[in-house]
Structure 1
Amino acid sequence: MTTVVRCEALTMAYGRREALSGLDLAVEPGSVYALLGRNGAGKSTLVKALLGLRRPRSGRAELFGADAFGARARAMERTGVVPETPQVPPRMTSAQAAAFCGSLAPAWDAAGVAARLERFGVDPRQPFGRLSRGQQTQVALALALGSRPDLLVLDDPTLGLDAVARRDLYREILEDLGERGATVLVATHDLAGIEGIADRVGILHQGRLLLDEPMEDLKGRHRRIRCGPQACPDLGPLGPAAQAQGPFGLEATVSRFSEAALAAAGLPPEAAVGASLEDIFLATVAGEVNA
């Protein structure tokens, strides 16, 4: 089965400044890939490369086994996109936008788009420019799913969404995955929201991919170690990041957890608790910054 998204030694640059440096990445069919990184890490640049909007300085970006830049027209027929800033003319209504997009798509799901707008509580007669930021994103998602794409690409889709709207957005993505087995690439700052649906995680930092692995493996090898009010013992074998003051005293996030290494450090089993994706992200980036 063809890998849906692939980058090989991908380098992107703006003038002399490299935004991505020798990046390798693969997203398998039917998976949800979460691309994480601080502002300026290169997430949006990678999305632009994959959508064929910018030609690489070197290396290669592919969609569905073909060059993303050279074969962009064919790839976009199978790709739905929710950009960071939804791009619908402000005077156009959601109904008009759906009709326009439907005229361009070979197999448009008009009923599905209308049903999603209704679930989101968006009036299809309302001009796009009068909708809230969150409603604009919901319209963009409904339009992106209208062509029943094989790949859905979302660039920070939860910006401006409240908790209920974020939940609804992820629910729509999961339902679409369950129905058709589509592939999803999400570049996001919403670590808590994406943690529950992502199969694989990549963390970008200064144009380089610091890690790229299944969510299950990532969660399995990371733990929060609670040391209490005293300083943490030597956690070297556990792969610690910097210690920090937590609600239970000094804490550290470790990346090579094992029960044997915890015991060797003289800590009881209850000292180790699960690490959230936010814990893992902060520890990974902090380790790079402090290296």
Structure 2
Amino acid sequence: MNMIEMEQVSKSYQQYQVLNKITLNLPQGHIMGLLGQNGAGKTTLLKLCLGLLKADRGEIRVMEAPGWDMPPKVKEQVGYVAQKSDTLHWMNVSQLLDYTGAFYQNWDAAKVTALMQRWQLDPKSRVSDLSEGQKQRVAIIQAIGHNPKLLILDEPVASLDPMLRREFIRELIDINLENGTSVLFSTHILSDLERVASDIAILRRGEICFQGSLDELKERYVRLHLSSHSPLPKALQIQGLLHIEHSPNHIRALVENPDRAVVSALEKQLNATAQIEALGLDDIFLELHK
């Protein structure tokens, strides 16, 4: 079962097309990282999945229910952390979490109390007096206090320090393992995704350019180095070449699914030494957006 299914989904704001024919599936129990530059359409995509925006074209289903017309029983199983906290700032932390819990039949008060203590949140502090990082912690607790089956996160750790980010990642792994919670997780902190994500989707210029496992992504995109004592050509005839950087005796190229036999033939043809470099998530993301 897929927790989220998007089929040929498009969304525009007036004349500007943000998303173009997006097809995306989040399998049950998976944690998927959603990557893209600012303005790529990540927040729009997440809001479409939540039913906060309506697609111009295409179909969205969340837990097999229509995304734009989710029944209450489905909404109750979804948790959401927005990019910016926009809540009832005049309440104190305890009042806000009690108020949130009143909307859910399976609100886990013991878990919420434990998280407040672990994340050093004073239940009597007024929300308006909290730092941005503290407000973000409260928003995360609001989103996971009912042990949702689907968790949608839009830059949830942007205001957290490294220690609290690690705590949050640990909590994310726990709810995934204990409850089978599926997660769609947008963040610019790619090292966090590498710790927790089983799947990656990359959004570029309004389209999904990759969706698959993190291992598949790392196998698909590699950096090819060619070195020679003789001058090397400025262009390479190799399938899957995405871009190339050239100096007289060295070529560095990003290649998609390189054919090892072709690389060996290039070595002989150019009298060069070839090296295939595996890339981390940071490097792949930067290379794809050059």
Contact persistence 2:227–2:273 (CA under 8 A):
no
Distance 2:128 2:251 in 1: 48
Distance 1:61 1:212 in 2: 17
Deviations 1:137-183 (A, max 9, x none): 11111111111100000001121222222211111101111111110
What amino acid does structure 1 have at the position aligned with 2:265? A
1:261 positional shift: 4.2
Indicate the SS of the match to 2:123. Answer: coil
Q: Name the residue aligned to 1:255.
A: 256
What amino acid does structure 1 have at the position aligned with 2:257? R
Contact persistence 1:199–1:215 (CA under 8 A):
yes
Larger radius of gyration: 2
Contact persistence 2:243–2:255 (CA under 8 A):
no
Structure-2 change in CA distance of 1:96 and 1:227 (3 Å): farther
Distance 1:175 1:268 in 2: 46
Name structure 2 gaps, 5 residues minimum: none
Q: Percent identity?
A: 30
1:224 positional shift: 3.1
RMSD: 2.3
1:263 positional shift: 3.2
What amino acid does structure 2 have at the position aligned with 1:61? I
What amino acid does structure 2 have at the position aligned with 1:207? G
Q: Name the residue aligned to 1:289.
A: none
Q: Name the residue aligned to 2:243.
A: 242
Indicate the SS of the match to 1:59. Answer: strand
Q: Could you tell which deviates more after superposition, 191-200 or 78-87?
A: 191-200
Structure-2 change in CA distance of 1:128 and 1:268 (3 Å): farther
TM-score by length of structure 1 reads 0.88
Contact persistence 2:198–2:214 (CA under 8 A):
yes
Contact persistence 1:223–1:274 (CA under 8 A):
yes
Contact persistence 2:40–2:206 (CA under 8 A):
yes
Contact persistence 1:93–1:127 (CA under 8 A):
yes
Structure-2 change in CA distance of 1:78 and 1:261 (3 Å): same
Distance 2:91 2:10 in 1: 38
1:243 positional shift: 4.0
Distance 2:261 2:157 in 1: 40
Indicate the SS of the match to 2:20. Answer: strand
Q: Name the residue aligned to 1:145.
A: 144
Contact persistence 2:153–2:184 (CA under 8 A):
yes
Indicate the SS of the match to 2:242. Answer: coil
Structure-2 change in CA distance of 1:117 and 1:259 (3 Å): farther
Structure-2 change in CA distance of 1:93 and 1:23 (3 Å): same
Distance 1:243 1:146 in 2: 48
Runs of 4+ in 1 over 6 A off after TM superposition: 228-234
Residue 165 in structure 1 maps to residue 164 in structure 2: yes
1:235 positional shift: 5.6
1:228 positional shift: 6.4
2:277 to 273, 276, 282: 273
Contact persistence 2:228–2:273 (CA under 8 A):
no
Name structure 1 gaps, 5 residues minimum: 287-291
Q: Name the residue aligned to 1:200.
A: 199
Corresponding pairs, count: 281
Contact persistence 1:134–1:161 (CA under 8 A):
yes
1:106 positional shift: 0.5
Distance 2:128 2:4 in 1: 33
Q: Name the residue aligned to 1:282.
A: 286
1:86-125 mapped onto 2 (5 Å cutoff): 86-125=85-124
Distance 1:164 1:250 in 2: 40
Distance 1:240 1:118 in 2: 52
Q: Could you tell which deviates more after superposition, 252-261 or 69-78?
A: 252-261
1:217 positional shift: 0.9
